Amino acid sequence: MGQRRGFIDSEYARSPNSTTRTPELDNEDARTRQRGRPDSTTRTPGLDNEDARTRQPERGGQHGNRPCNGLRSQVRVTIRSDPSTYPTRFAGAVSARVRFLTRRRCMNENSKTRFVLIGGFLGAGKTTLIGELARRYMAAGKRVGIITNDQADDLVDTLNLRSQGFDVGEVAGACFCCSFDDLVSTAETLSTQRPPDVLLAEPVGSCTDLVATVILPLQQLLGERFELAPFGVLLKPSHGRRILDGESSSARSGFSAQAEYIFRKQLEEADYLMIGRLDQLNDQEVSSLKEKLESLNEGVPVIAISPRRGDGVEGVMGYIESPMIAGRRLLQIDYDTYADGEADLGWVNLTAMLRADEPVELDTLAHDIVASVAERIAARNEGQIAHLKVSVLGGDAQAVASVVSNDTGVDIGLAANRSVSGRIQMIVNARVSIDPQVLEEICRQRVSGLAESRRLEVESISAHSLRPGRPTPTHRVTQA
């Protein structure tokens, strides 16, 4: 089994069987807990005065029974107009605003970077949306950076976005909340020559409580550098329909009640909600999902989108550019249930190097390996696919295929439209509610079997499998 998330070389290491509840955070001071070794005195970057600077608590043994220290939020939750009108009120002015901000940045190098966090469950379509947002901002003359996030290295989404010409940084090995300092340093690497006008960030799809652990800490600690956009969360319809239906949903969704808890909590903390994959839904399904979301989050606007077709993306930009305050909804969350929900998922990142003596069609290869792995998982009748994605690279061409549940077909998200020979790299990212070692073996067998059937030489196969560890945020705001 792979290393547990966020515990590498950390004094906060905790036994995988720990049942210690995350204590209520102390808000009597503004101290924050930093990841590091016991003697570390590193200060949180970006603070300019002694009163605002965080102090390091004394280190001593494991984190288990020692309370974390939270940040007191200065956010005032005030909305002066109906946020449901923001897509139409601000979307039409997005391009003009983008051009204005770009000109202003040329004159003022100290202007802030707009930080846009797009949340949602595994397989919701976050990467596709971020890619489309990046294209539109860049077409309007704005400098764009993208930060991806995963529990392990070799992320298909990072390669996919880079192949499209975007400037992409990656935080690997832990979620943003548990690697806050890595998130900040990655943002800095994207600003070596000149800070981007907008940073689009995609957190791990099994994480929640991001308002308290990412958005508000960024706002308070690095507010002179970042302007936080409203937090949008993308609903995954294939599992959303079943999870939002009622108490007995776990039997139909295929996930544990704890994993469903994460799904719901992600929706609860959104400033605005998006229903994804509009191109795969009829009007009645969209209407039903909107009703469920409005019932779950009263007063939170909902927009239906299809990034692939472009539907609703201008409306999303309207929310991003609107005056809506970011991080308005702090969660009440049980970290024991949250940890159990993450541990329900098996995580595999596999990389195979293949060699083809004769030309092979990359799109077909990507489609067939995804279909083969998904078929084997479904045949076991014991694991639900959250997201299964494959990238196949040959020469300067890339194909990406994915499946987002046991009962959905294979989707070609990025078509290479090319046949190649020679060396081919295949990367498999699998997130399934199944034992990760079993999942790794399935992936290895299917890749080897497909290579043999296509007369491809297997030069190497390496894989990393894990269950995510208990979330231990670097910072957590507990009071708005």
- Tokens representing 442 are 């399935």
Tell me the one-letter amino acid at 307: P
Residues of the chain with pLDDT under 70: 1-86, 88-110, 246-252, 480
Write the DSSP symbol of residue 84.
G
Give the pLDDT of residue 90.
Answer: 61
Give the pLDDT of residue 111.
Answer: 83
**Which domains, from first to last, does the chain contain?**
72-340 (3.40.50.300), 345-466 (3.30.70.360)
Give the pLDDT of residue 94.
Answer: 53
The CA-to-CA distance between both ends of the chain, in Å, stands at 39
What's the pLDDT tens digit per position in 146-180?
999 999 888 999 999 999 999 999 999 999 999 99
Give the pLDDT of residue 251.
Answer: 56
Give the pLDDT of residue 191.
Answer: 83
Residue 154: Cβ-neighbour burial (10 angstroms; 0-12, 13-18, 19+) = buried
Handedness of CA 388, 394, 395, 401 (dihedral sign): negative
Give the pLDDT of residue 245.
Answer: 83
Cα–Cα distance measured from residue 66 to residue 340, given in angstroms and rounded to the nearest whole number: 21
User: Model pTM?
Assistant: 0.80
Give the pLDDT of residue 12.
Answer: 28
What is the distance, to the nearest Å, from the Cα of residue 19 to the centroid of all Cα atoms in its chain?
26
- Of 374, 365, 394, 370, nearest to 453 (Cα)? 365
Q: How high does pLDDT run on average in the chain?
A: 83
Three-state secondary structure of 463-480:
EEEECCCCCCCCCCEEEC
